[in-house]
Amino acid sequence: MATDARTWFYTTPEPRPYFIEERVNHTLWKNRLQGLSMSCVQATAPIKMEGVWNGMPVQFEWQPGKYFILRSGREVKELIGVLRQILMMRPALAYTDTNGLFTVEWHTDGGARRWQEVKGNPEYQGARRLRKD
């Protein structure tokens, strides 16, 4: 099955975990992340997936067509870069969340409003803006 972000991010996928897993995993594998396999833990928006990559926890959360959030055990530029290519847009912001996970957010609207919520909030450590629109 040839899939890309258009089948699960830019359109709302059918709320069936297996179908979401199949589309997302095939997209990851097609884009050099063969060692990452994600499981769908919530099939309705916001859609949530969890997995392990090289012994590191990885989580995805997204609202189709609006935002995509990557959470991982540490900052991995390869993972962020591949997701940037898959989503066809630059990430908007990054920070470490209250669970100690490195978090990167992509927003189709540029993320300015979300940045206002994050910057200066003590829940988000090391917050930085990655995209200015």
pLDDT of residue 2: 67
pLDDT tens digits along 66-120 = 999 999 999 999 999 999 999 999 999 999 999 999 999 999 999 999 999 999 8
pLDDT of residue 133: 60
Return the half-sphere exposure (C-beta side, CA atoms, 13 A cut-off) of residue 36: 25
User: What is the Cα–Cα distance from 30 to 97, expressed in whole angstroms?
Assistant: 29
Q: Rounded mean pLDDT of the chain?
A: 95
How distant is the alpha carbon of residue 37 from its chain centre?
A: 14
pLDDT of residue 91: 98
What is the domain partition of the chain in residue ranges?
Answer: 5-129
pLDDT tens digits along 17-59 = 999 999 999 999 999 998 999 999 999 999 999 999 999 999 9
